Amino acid sequence: MSDLFIVKAKIKELAGDFNVATDFSETLNEKVKSLIREAIGRAKANGRRTLMAKDL
């Protein structure tokens, strides 16, 4: 797997009594990376170099 942008232990903590499959963490990580890339695109389009909540 590539760089992690999520913390697996925190996912398991939030999931409580539920088991967390390995592919869940990997897919969530990819989704987070995609969200960050999209936010970068919006910030660039608005002439900013700062990512803001509104970019999500």
**pLDDT profile of the chain (56 residues), mean per 10:** 84 97 95 97 98 98
Q: How far is CA 50 from the centre of its chain?
A: 17
What SS3 string covers 26-53? HHHHHHHHHHHHHHHHHHHHCCCCCCCH
Number of neighbouring beta carbons within 10 Å of residue 53: 6
Does the predicted model carry a pTM greater than 0.95? no
pLDDT at residue 1 in the model = 45
Size (the chain), residues: 56
Number of neighbouring beta carbons within 10 Å of residue 24: 14
